[in-house]
Structure 1
Amino acid sequence: MKLNYMECWNGAMVILRDHKEAILAIVGVFVFLPTLLMAQFVGQPPLEGAADLNAITAAYSTFFSENAVPVILSNLLISFGGFAIFLTVAPSHNGTVAENLGTARRLFLIFLVANILTGLVTFAGLMLLIIPGLYVACRLILVPIIIADHGERNPITALKESWNNTIGNGFSILLLVLMIAILSAITVAVIQMIVGVVTGLATGGAGWPLIDNLVSALGGAAVQVLITVIIASIYYELTGKGSEVDEVFR
């Protein structure tokens, strides 16, 4: 089955509409809050004066060594939240938020291992050229929702199923994800710029870091939710989950 962009987008909006309360609850606790706390209390690596790749690498290395615990914990929480959203929107699940969180907890290690394997395969593709790496990543993009939908406990099987389900659609998925990522990044950057200008004018140039961090965290959470429901919609469309794809997306 060839990926239809309009059907995929409409399906994502249906998924978002049907699960918005559960998604908002999960993303608020496990994505937005950790992101905001990290931005407010830990911040970013100091890159001022870092003129080359070695200096930037050193800055990130120092930052991570000094903040390893909060960085790891926040990323684990955000990853857990993302996986819980996949469970919420998976066609085989219709449980409560608490039930989905419990299932996510039991499958989270499998999800992490599968992500590591996906990263390794993608990295191997990137070593060849950028495009092959991105292509491989898009062929394996369905791994999280396959684990969520099937309760799959073998990461290798999840990778194989994603690869099989995306046959003939690797570059179509790549183009779709790139378009959404670029448009989302531009939108968030424009909103952040506008908020920065307003807070700067209101405070005589000092700005309000909490407001800036709040907007940044909200933007990041919104983009993650959008990408997640797009991936879920791709899965619905390419696998024909339900009885008929048009019935699933009506």
Structure 2
Amino acid sequence: MKFDFDKGWSEAIAMIRSNFGLLATIAGVLIFLPSAFAAILFPDASLQIAGGNSAQPDMDQLQEAMQTLVAEYWWLFLIVFLLTSLAQLAMFAFMRRRASPTVGEALGTAASLLPSFVGAYILQVLALMAPYVLLVALPALAGLSPIAVVGALVMIPLVIYLMIKFSLTTAVIGLEGERNPVAALRRSWRLTRGNSFRLLGFYLLLAVAAFILFLIAGWIVGLIFSFGGEQTIGFGTALFAGAVDALASVFMVSIFAAIHAQLSRLSVAGDSLEA
């Protein structure tokens, strides 16, 4: 039994339509506002850091500016990350068919699941970094450049494969209430079994469509705000970035919830046939 592209998309759209008001409220408060604020703050700070010595900073100055920016505003990055994660978990809680929680209940559930999400996220990062360390970094440090090059070629598809296998981890935590990070990763791995290539194709189609829509919307927004001054353009860009983050989160949560639902049904059907 294989993942159905059309059914996955149609179920995701149905979830958005039935929960759009609540999803938009959470995304607006916990994602749009923090993201827009960060987008307003970061350009101003980076310009102040990079433009101290010259009107046109070179690449080294820009790299140093970004490092300084991250070191100075790491706390804001962390807050935006945690709020976005909280919002996504709350949106998953809304999509539990049997629960039908209120906004407060969904946020409470999301807050209780946040430590599990952070733990699973850290484990995913470590798992994705492992191929680079073992196949590229260690051979390069040992002076084995040819092996490092071959390792890089092997690393890329391996990392993509791991990303697909772990792609439903947040959905497992949010929809099933799984609090064990390792168990959530294992559950995602089992659900995607036998459908990794189909999921890769589905994700690629969504990524291409999202990229095209982003370019078109960005061009329209840029054209509208270009009639104002630099501050107007910066403010409009920040609002656009926040809106993109919020809408992307709503669609991503709905899509992963639909994929989780379909693969869960296929898993149950497969177990029934084996029994």
Q: TM-score range by the shorter chain?
A: 0.7 to 0.9
Q: Partner letter of residue 29 of structure 2?
A: V
Q: Report Cα offsets for 1:48-98 as digits up to 9, x if no partner.
A: 7454xx766533321111212222112211121122112222345311111
Answer yes or no: is the 8 Å Cα contact 2:93–2:101 preserved in 1: no
1:226-245 pair list within 5 angstroms: 226-240=251-265
Aligned position for 2:233: 208
RMSD (Å), alpha carbons: 2.4
Task: Kindly state the Cα deviation for residue 172 of structure 1 after the two structures are TM-superposed.
Answer: 1.4
Answer yes or no: is the 8 Å Cα contact 2:31–2:83 preserved in 1: yes
Aligned position for 1:122: 128
Task: Return the alpha-carbon distance in structure 2 between the equivalents of residues 214 and 238 of structure 1.
Answer: 36
Task: Kindly state the Cα deviation for residue 204 of structure 1 after the two structures are TM-superposed.
Answer: 6.8
Q: Partner letter of residue 203 of structure 1?
A: G
Answer yes or no: is the 8 Å Cα contact 2:24–2:250 preserved in 1: no
Task: Return the alpha-carbon distance in structure 2 between the equivalents of residues 106 and 34 of structure 1.
Answer: 21
The farther-off stretch of 84-93 and 71-80 is 84-93
Q: Percent identity?
A: 28
1:1-250 pair list within 5 angstroms: 1-43=1-43, 45=46, 49-51=57-59, 58-125=64-131, 128-200=154-226, 202-203=227-228, 207-240=232-265
Give the unaligned 5+ runs of structure 2. 51-55, 136-153, 270-275
Give the secondary structure class of the aligned counterpart of 1:188.
helix
Q: Partner letter of residue 105 of structure 1?
A: A
Task: Return the alpha-carbon distance in structure 2 between the equivalents of residues 17 and 208 of structure 1.
Answer: 32
Task: Kindly state the Cα deviation for residue 22 of structure 1 after the two structures are TM-superposed.
Answer: 1.4
With the length of structure 1 as denominator, give the TM-score of the two structures: 0.86
Distance 1:57 1:85, change over 3 A: farther
Task: Kindly state the Cα deviation for residue 236 of structure 1 after the two structures are TM-superposed.
Answer: 0.6
Give the secondary structure class of the aligned counterpart of 2:222.
helix
Answer yes or no: is the 8 Å Cα contact 1:107–1:153 preserved in 2: yes
Q: Partner letter of residue 108 of structure 1?
A: L
Answer yes or no: is the 8 Å Cα contact 1:125–1:136 preserved in 2: no
Q: Report Cα offsets for 1:82-130 as digits up to 9, x if no partner.
A: 2211222234531111101001111110111011112221233465421
Give the unaligned 5+ runs of structure 1. 245-250
Bigger Rg over Cα: 2
Give the secondary structure class of the aligned counterpart of 2:101.
coil
Q: Report Cα offsets for 1:3-28 as digits up to 9, x if no partner.
A: 11000000100111111121111101
Answer yes or no: is the 8 Å Cα contact 1:3–1:238 preserved in 2: yes
Task: Return the alpha-carbon distance in structure 2 between the equivalents of residues 204 and 106 of structure 1.
Answer: 45
Distance 1:45 1:183, change over 3 A: farther
Structure showing the higher helix proportion among its residues? 2
